Structure 1
Amino acid sequence: MRGLIRLCLMTLLAGAGWAQAASQVLVVGLFPGAAVLNVDGQRKLVRVGQTGPGGVQVVSADSKGAVLRVDGVERLYPLSREPSEGFAAPGKRSLSVAKGVGGHYWVAGSANGQPVQFLVDTGATSVALNETHARRLGIDYRSVGTPLQVNTAGGVVRGWRVNLSSVKLGDLEVLGVEAVVLEGGAPGEALLGMSFLSRVGWRVEQDVLVLESKF
């Protein structure tokens, strides 16, 4: 009888230990065919079929969540917020961006309320747009902008410094963002430069760009 009680107790403890381990597995970022996992504080981008921290395997991933195999058991994990650090502001918002084609970071957002696909460029002083981008955003840059000359890889081009009422990426929104509109078709993609990035926190972890609000 005593042996049976001891066996039951060991089984209960083992089950409790498994539940505790499972509760520490979080999905904090979702991308087509990949998920950002936080396992016991270890954060890593793990693609489908690969194994991440703690032996957690990503079985599938989409915008709804990720199916993970934890200790041999598969279940769907929805997107979760990461635990706040002791000194972190309760309302802090963050966005994780996986490295894309060509080793660049692409992120869908909006400017002045209009959808924009941004290419993150930490070497760009400001958000940079071409004339087509500006017209689609309703910016009368020749009238309201400040003329300037911009040095680019292709030489010196004419540009106009303007002010975007807002730039938003996910839950992150910055108001009054400086941008430069360049004459012609370059840059081909809207560049998300330091006029936005300097006003949020950003870092790169395991090929994932993490953006977060400062307040």
Structure 2
Amino acid sequence: MSLILKLLFVCMFAFGQTTLLAKAPKIELNAILNNAVVAKINGQQLMLKLQQRSPQGYQVVEIQSDYAVFLIQGQRHKVKVGASIGSSTSAPINRVQINKNSGMYYVDGYINELGVRFLVDTGATLVAMNSQVAEQLGIDYRASGTQGVANTASGQVAAWRVQLNVVSVGNIRLSQVQAMVIEGAYPTSVLLGMSFLGQIKMQDSGNLLTLEQTF
């Protein structure tokens, strides 16, 4: 191989590597919590605390009320909540808007195709319900669930971790959602927790909460 061809080959290879490294990641900012974010980065759903570095090398270096700044491969990426970057094609969106009621967000939905009234709770790790509601929904939590304990205002009570076949709110529908069944009458409302909310986008404008599911 001549020296000129060798130089051309090296230049083409180096250019290809530079282009690959400069490719922008796909980031979807689903929710902003107190000191953390829920985001989908290059197809992976993650919860990242401020300044925490994920095993993939992703880091959140700034969190504001309506946006976060990610540091990925030495590049800073500012993303607004409910928005995404790195994709040039638009995707279909299912959207539900919920008005605040007495300081809370309540919304009608379905668990395993049976109607329930949800209270949106970003502080709940899982969708959660009391054992009375679970029985009404036909969930055999004692047989299918994993037993543990939950902390309530009355102290520790028995709880079971289960998997719900389908959870839906409006036209947003998710399958195989993790949930918690708590023995007794607490919580009084079915909590729509992060096992559902963490898979979609959320934007809270003060008195209106918008939920979005993209495909």
TM-score (norm 1): 0.58
1:89 deviates by: 3.1
* Partner residue in 2 for 1:98: 99
* Structure-2 change in CA distance of 1:87 and 1:116 (3 Å): farther
Map 1:149-168 → 2, pairs under 5 A: 149-168=149-168
**After the TM superposition, which of the residue ranges 149-158 and 139-148 deviates more from structure 2?**
149-158
The answer to whether the Cα contact below 8 Å between 2:92 and 2:214 also exists between their aligned partners in 1 is no
1:134 is paired with a residue whose SS is helix
1:154 deviates by: 2.7
* Partner residue in 2 for 1:203: 203
The answer to whether the Cα contact below 8 Å between 1:199 and 1:214 also exists between their aligned partners in 2 is no
Structure having greater relative contact order (Cα 8 Å, sep ≥ 6): 2
Q: For 1:130, give the aligned amino acid.
A: N
The answer to whether the Cα contact below 8 Å between 2:145 and 2:160 also exists between their aligned partners in 1 is yes
1:87 deviates by: 5.1
1:108 is paired with a residue whose SS is strand
The answer to whether the Cα contact below 8 Å between 2:166 and 2:175 also exists between their aligned partners in 1 is yes
1:185 deviates by: 0.5
2:164 is paired with a residue whose SS is strand
Q: What CA deviation, in whole Å up to 9, does each residue of 1:39-78 have, x standing for no partner?
A: xxxxxxxxxxxxxxxxxxxxxxxxxxxxxxxxxxxxxxxx
2:209 is paired with a residue whose SS is strand
TM-score (norm 2): 0.58
* Partner residue in 1 for 2:63: none
The answer to whether the Cα contact below 8 Å between 2:130 and 2:181 also exists between their aligned partners in 1 is yes
The answer to whether the Cα contact below 8 Å between 1:124 and 1:191 also exists between their aligned partners in 2 is yes
**After the TM superposition, which of the residue ranges 128-137 and 86-95 deviates more from structure 2?**
86-95
How far apart in 1 are the matches of 2:111 and 2:90? 26
Larger Rg: 1
* Partner residue in 2 for 1:110: 110
Aligned pair count? 130
Q: For 1:104, give the aligned amino acid.
A: M
The answer to whether the Cα contact below 8 Å between 2:202 and 2:210 also exists between their aligned partners in 1 is yes
* Structure-2 change in CA distance of 1:143 and 1:99 (3 Å): same
* Partner residue in 2 for 1:214: 214
* Partner residue in 2 for 1:146: 146
1:88 deviates by: 6.5
Q: For 2:119, give the aligned amino acid.
A: L
1:133 deviates by: 0.9
The answer to whether the Cα contact below 8 Å between 2:91 and 2:214 also exists between their aligned partners in 1 is no
1:153 deviates by: 3.1
* Structure-2 change in CA distance of 1:158 and 1:91 (3 Å): same
* Partner residue in 2 for 1:177: 177
The answer to whether the Cα contact below 8 Å between 1:172 and 1:213 also exists between their aligned partners in 2 is yes
Q: What CA deviation, in whole Å up to 9, does each residue of 1:188-214 have, x standing for no partner?
A: 110000000001111101411110003
The answer to whether the Cα contact below 8 Å between 2:127 and 2:180 also exists between their aligned partners in 1 is yes
1:100 deviates by: 0.5
Moved over 4 A (4+): 85-88
How far apart in 2 are the matches of 1:206 and 1:158? 35
Q: What CA deviation, in whole Å up to 9, does each residue of 1:153-198 have, x standing for no partner?
A: 3321110000000100010001110000000010011000000000
How far apart in 2 are the matches of 1:202 and 1:155? 32
Q: What CA deviation, in whole Å up to 9, does each residue of 1:121-154 have, x standing for no partner?
A: 1100000111111011111101111001112233
Q: Percent identity?
A: 42
RMSD: 1.7
Q: For 2:190, give the aligned amino acid.
A: A
